[in-house]
Amino acid sequence: MKVLIVGSYGLVTGNLVARMHREKWDVYVLTGNQKNDKRVGMPKHISFTFEEDAADIKYVIQGIMPDYVIFTGAWDENYQWNREDCASAFNSGLVNVLSWAKEYRVPRFCYLSCMDAEEEGDVRGRLVRNGERICETYASVGFSITALRLPYVYGNCRCAEDTLDLLAEQCFLARSGQDYRLPRCCFTPLFVSDLAEAVYRVGREEPGEKAFACYEVKGKEELSGESFDGYIKALYPKSAGKASGKLALSDTEEIKTDDFGENFGYFPKIDMKTGLERVEAFLNKNQKKIEKIRKTREQEELLARKQSAREQIKKGLAKILRILENLVIFAIAFAAEYYLKGEIDAFAKVDFLLLYIVLIAIQRGVGESILAVILATMGNLWIALDQGGTVSSVMTQYQFVIQFLFYFVISIGITYSFLNYRNKSKERMEQLKELEEEYTRIIGINKTNIEIKKAFEDRLISYDDSIGKIYNVVSELDVLEVDKVIMAALRVVSKIMKVRDVSIFYAGTDQYFHFVGATTKDTGEQKTIHLSSYPNMERVLMEGEIYINHEIGGILPRMAAPIFSGNKLVYIIMLWNMEFEELNLYKKNLFLVLVKLITSSLEKGYQYETIGRSQEYYEDTNIMLPESFKKKIVELMKGKTQEEAEYTLLQIKTEERGRDQLNRELGGLLRDSDRIGYLKDEDHYIYVLAHTSFKDSEFVVRKLAREGFQCRVVTSNET
């Protein structure tokens, strides 16, 4: 199965990767963070660093074609919930992933929510609740969406570089002898491995009738400030600091949703004591590394705050400097206007204040242009007053008002023109930057595609279900005798299907199917089955299809396949003890191919038996010649040590019965899978290689005795 996890590396994503990898699923992570690459020490997976709302998500999902998408949502550390742009980023990212997942027919989608979503008490709760509504809108038949409302999640990260959760951080402080904080109120935390198990169980289930479902996933036990303090003191009896302050943890509201444990057969395993002990083991192992990382982060945060303060000061000083520059230029223009125009005839018609406005409009934009217009108008007013006018007379002059309006229109017109030019230049630069980024993304996608291609090539060559491995295993079927084909079929099916327990039943003349062999003794408890007693399985098998049993418990196998000779059902191959996630289309098709290969080998075996029967059997009888019978005894009795079919050798007195009479009488009493033969010609004893265990052979002995045959079981020492 291929699974795509959407979310930043951290506590939740790291453990999800580990859990899915343990199931041998192909794991892909869309981190949405350029700074975080694949973690050293994490299980092998392929990482994409595109943002969740990027158009490239289409190519990612199209290239992977995942069977299961996990959107970490409320537990994605990329989102800073209190930022103004968080809502648009979260909603657009979720809608983008949902749209393309539905477009490319992803069957299962899991959305990680939080319990705050029920009350929508804070920004995070409102956004995540809205995400649930979006998921419900997109859910449809064939695109099943499950929302998991989780309490506070804690535990040990997969890598020391990942952010510690608040509970783990208190343990880290306490073990170092520093003051730690206690939870403000009671809540039910969920250990991160229990969360990963819950998400895994959602992924392995077949989509149900409900397109959208919401579940609450609880932790093992409730935690309060007092109990947490007790755990801390028990963990660190000597080094623990003192408890000071309260820890505000959300996700404490209990909600009413469907029962997740009942529907998915899941219950949390990690109690608080075990969980905190695991956290402590992680902290102890990575103490120095975590201290170094935290120290580096504190220095980076301090440096960021200092840089932010310096930037603010720089911006303030730059603004003051710009105003001062504006005033200085105005002073120069006003001085030129006041002194030069009256002294030098060449400057008589030059408006220095207008030049000042044009210069500011070109360089500084609208704000300072308006300031320049006001200063220039005040300068003209000062000159008019200096020449003997009054404020009222000057300001009521038509020429003064027209000059002010002229200054204003010129400044706005020039500013707009230059702003328009700058905006177009900026747009062209942004387009160029987008093209460069798209080029970079295409390179990244190409590199990832090369990784995926290499991974599939490695699988094709080295995996147990690769074409080469399958060919090598299936070549065991290249034998002629029917019995050998059946025994080889057991080994082939077990190896390729990766199922320990395989059994084969043979169609008898009494409308029962008799047990032929199994790879383990556990499957041999039911020696015969009457197929009509299981109508569902009978209907599927008689149609030549693979029967798949999705029920829990019961006596039926997980998978069963028919083998026909002509139009007659002659064998049934049954697979037991398979995991539910193995009951998929790939396994069904693989099993079907194997059955066709086995059927082909059996047909060759039947042809061989027909042609070579005269060399192994007395003419017109089912009694084997001594040499052939001895060979068959060695072959089939050897199967006991390989835990395949069980056979027992019976010795029967002939009591002057002829060969034809023995053939008729024994043929009606024994099963088709039993073998009858002599150890030497004209012997007074005939032997039966009965297809049964030594324990169950007493039933055969009694049956023969009732028909007048004196017989006994030949022990292993005698054979």
Question: What pLDDT score does 63 carry?
Answer: 80
Global pTM reads 0.52
Is 82 a member of any domain?
yes
Whether the pLDDT of residue 552 is over 80: the answer is no
In sequence order, which residues have a C-beta less than 8 Å from that of residue 473 and are 6 or more positions away?
491, 492, 495, 496
Same domain, 383 and 234: no
d(CA 236, CA 329): 70
Whether the pLDDT of residue 715 is over 50: the answer is yes
Q: Which range marks the domain in which residue 333 is found?
A: 305-437
Neighbours of 108 (CB within 10 A): 22
Greatest distance between any 2 Cα atoms in the chain: 159
Same domain, 134 and 217: yes
Question: What pLDDT score does 451 carry?
Answer: 63
Same domain, 242 and 152: yes
Same domain, 87 and 183: yes
Same domain, 383 and 269: no
Same domain, 220 and 337: no
Same domain, 90 and 207: yes
Same domain, 247 and 382: no
Nearest alpha carbon to residue 114 among 20, 169, 187 = 187
CA dihedral (689, 693, 694, 700) positive or negative: negative
CATH for 159: 3.40.50.720
Q: DSSP assignment, residue 672?
A: T
Whether the pLDDT of residue 582 is over 80: the answer is no
Residue 642's pLDDT band (cuts 50, 70, 90): very low
Is 75 a member of any domain?
yes
Residue 360 burial by Cβ neighbours in a 10 Å radius (0-12, 13-18, 19+)? buried
Which of 257, 285, 313 marks a domain boundary? 285
Is 296 a member of any domain?
no
Residue type (1 letter), 342: G
Q: Do 243 and 180 touch, CB atoms closer than 8 A? A: yes
Is 294 a member of any domain?
no
3-state helix, strand, coil in the chain (%, to 5): 55, 15, 30
Is 451 a member of any domain?
no
Question: What pLDDT score does 658 carry?
Answer: 82
Rg (CA), the chain: 42
Residue 698's pLDDT band (cuts 50, 70, 90): confident
> What phi, psi does 502 have (nearest 5°)?
-130, 135
Neighbours of 17 (CB within 10 A): 26
CATH for 594: 3.30.450.40
The beta-strand segments (E) located in 486-613 are 501-507, 513-518, 528-529, 547-548, 559-565, 568-576
> What phi, psi does 72 have (nearest 5°)?
-70, -20
Q: What average pLDDT does this structure show over 359-375?
A: 81
Please provide the DSSP assignment of 514-545 as one string: EEEEESSGGGGS--EE-GGGSHHHHHHHHTTP
Q: Which two tokens stand for residue 537?
A: 């399985």
Q: What average pLDDT does this structure show over 137-166?
A: 86
Which of 285, 314, 338 marks a domain boundary? 285
Same domain, 413 and 552: no
Whether the pLDDT of residue 423 is over 90: the answer is no
Whether the pLDDT of residue 280 is over 50: the answer is yes
Q: How many domains does the chain have?
A: 4
Is 655 a member of any domain?
yes
d(CA 545, CA 572): 11
d(CA 551, CA 442): 46
Question: What pLDDT score does 136 carry?
Answer: 92
Same domain, 688 and 549: no
Any idea which residue has 């083998």 for tokens? 563
Q: Do 385 and 343 touch, CB atoms closer than 8 A? A: no
Any idea which residue has 């003419």 for tokens? 619
Same domain, 561 and 515: yes
Is 103 a member of any domain?
yes
Higher local confidence (pLDDT), 110 or 416 = 110
Is 291 a member of any domain?
no
Average pLDDT, the chain: 80
Which of 568, 596, 614 marks a domain boundary? 614
Q: Do 262 and 217 touch, CB atoms closer than 8 A? A: no
d(CA 173, CA 240): 8
Sheet strand arrangement including 675-677: 623-624, 675-677, 685-690, 648-653, 711-713
Same domain, 218 and 98: yes
Per-residue pLDDT reduced to its tens digit, 301-337: 888 888 888 888 988 888 888 888 888 888 888 888 7
Whether the pLDDT of residue 609 is over 90: the answer is no
> What phi, psi does 680 have (nearest 5°)?
-155, 155
CATH for 630: 3.30.70
d(CA 132, CA 114): 10
Please provide the DSSP assignment of 51-99 as one string: -TTSTTHHHHHHHH--SEEEE-GGG-TT--TTSTTHHHHHHHHHHHHHH
